[in-house]
Amino acid sequence: MKTQIIKIDTSTSNWDKQLDQAAEVLRSGGLVAFPTETVYGLGANALDEEAVKSIYRAKGRPSDNPLIVHIADTAAVKDLTDSIPGTAQALMDAFWPGPLTLVMPRSSLVPDIVTACLDTVAVRMPSHPIASALIKKAGVPVAAPSANSSGRPSPTLARHVIEDMMGKIDVIIDGGNAEVGVESTVLDITVDPPVILRPGGVTLEQLRHVLGNVISDQTPGISDMAGTPKSPGMKYRHYSPKATMLLIQGDPEKVAAEISKRAGLYHKEGTAVGILVTDETAGLYESSLYSYCKILSLGSRKEPKTLAANLFRCLREFDEKGVEVIMAETTDIRGIGQAVMNRLMKAAGGNIVKL
């Protein structure tokens, strides 16, 4: 399949005209990757069963992992749902458009393939101008998982999508960097109090501010990888770089010493090592390490948003550099840090050393 790449700069006039053709591709059953404020999505007409099937094929995604349906107007919720839970309005008012996905009772309009036969549907209204304009022009709800091959780190730049999807989909829209850098928060509002099924761009603290009581299902760990979780996608190994990954948690000086020691040993064996640090801790590593390890900073601990924004790009950069083992510091789990730790734990397959 020939994949067309369309580069769009939203600061130019009439940029949205460049989306006409991609909208037509969506309407006629094709696949379009597009930027959102969280990560790049791989979209198909959510009401077209065959089109949605081709998303699973292009990604190699297990069919029991349901998709999020993206809309451009809150009015679309009523077509997709059977009944709208009482908490929905306050959440939509506070966080839409934005990185919050609401799980609600589904309507019969939504094909089984979208929801993996669950009796609920996950709905989100993205704030990215390209995502919003594309969905509006297509005139259909758009089912869209992240636009990576299943299991790999999510794409935050068009070149990540090109790496994974070239030749497999119809169109890739290059709209620059996806700012938030981690996926949306998935909140189940079919239960009271609502439960966070996946931490993401909207934090537990923000949700509690609006709703009072919200339960976070996500103690950062892999306990949710066993059994039958309510959100099937959470059980899979996810976001994984090709390298083996290990998290080291504890006092920053001790973490740096432990990582340095292990890096030396790996280096002796001839293993290519990557180290994921932060701006504040980078100075704790001996300068010699910088000569034989690939060391990347995730961002500043004082600005946790930067940690989320850079995470997937850093994981992919280690792969590009042929790193075989990545050792990473852990982060504070308050605010957006909860989503960052969740992704780090999954990327590492739960491999963590606590000092």
Residue nearest to ligand AMP (CB): 233
Please tell me whether residue 218 binds ligand AMP under the rule CB under 6 A.
no
Please tell me whether residue 115 binds ligand AMP under the rule CB under 6 A.
yes
Q: What is the 3-state secondary structure (H, E, C) of 71-105?
A: CCCHHHHHHHECCCCCCHHHHHHHHCCCCEEEEEE
Please tell me whether residue 121 binds ligand AMP under the rule CB under 6 A.
yes
- Longest alpha-carbon distance in the chain: 61
The residue (of 146 and 206) whose beta carbon lies closer to Mg ion is 146
Residues in binding contact with ligand AMP, number by CB under 6 A = 21
Please tell me whether residue 65 binds ligand AMP under the rule CB under 6 A.
yes
Please tell me whether residue 231 binds Mg ion under the rule CB under 5 A.
no
The residue (of 122 and 204) whose beta carbon lies closer to ligand AMP is 122
**Minimum distance of ligand AMP from residue 90's CB (angstroms):** 20
Q: Which stretch binds ligand AMP (CB under 6 A): 22-30, 62-70, 75-83, 204-212?
A: 62-70
- 8 A C-beta contact, residue 125 and residue 47: no
Q: How many CB atoms lie within 10 A of CB 159?
A: 13
Please tell me whether residue 304 binds ligand AMP under the rule CB under 6 A.
no
Please tell me whether residue 156 binds ligand AMP under the rule CB under 6 A.
no
Angular region, 27: left φ>0, alpha ψ -120 to 50, beta rest: alpha
- 8 A C-beta contact, residue 271 and residue 293: no
- 8 A C-beta contact, residue 296 and residue 314: yes
Contacts of 269 (CB under 8 A, 6+ apart): none
Single-letter code of the amino acid located at 184: S
- Please name every residue paired with 44 in a beta bridge, in sequence order, or none if there are none: 143
Please tell me whether residue 118 binds ligand AMP under the rule CB under 6 A.
yes
Q: Which stretch binds ligand AMP (CB under 6 A): 82-90, 168-176, 225-233, 295-303?
A: 225-233
- Nearest 5°: phi and psi at 174? -95, 105
The residue (of 142 and 277) whose beta carbon lies closer to ligand AMP is 142
Please tell me whether residue 146 binds Mg ion under the rule CB under 5 A.
yes
CA 170 to chain centre: 22
DSSP, collapsed to helix, strand or coil, labels residue 311 as helix
The listed partner (Mg ion, ligand AMP, none) that binds 181, CB under 5 to 8 Å by sort, is: none
Among 103, 214, 326, 347, binds ligand AMP (CB under 6 A): 103
The residue (of 228 and 291) whose beta carbon lies closer to ligand AMP is 228
Contacts of 219 (CB under 8 A, 6+ apart): none
**Minimum distance of ligand AMP from residue 104's CB (angstroms):** 8
Judged by the rule CB under 6 A, the positions of this chain that interact with ligand AMP are: 65-68, 103, 115, 118, 120-122, 145-146, 183, 186, 197-198, 230-234
Judged by the rule CB under 5 A, the positions of this chain that interact with Mg ion are: 145-146
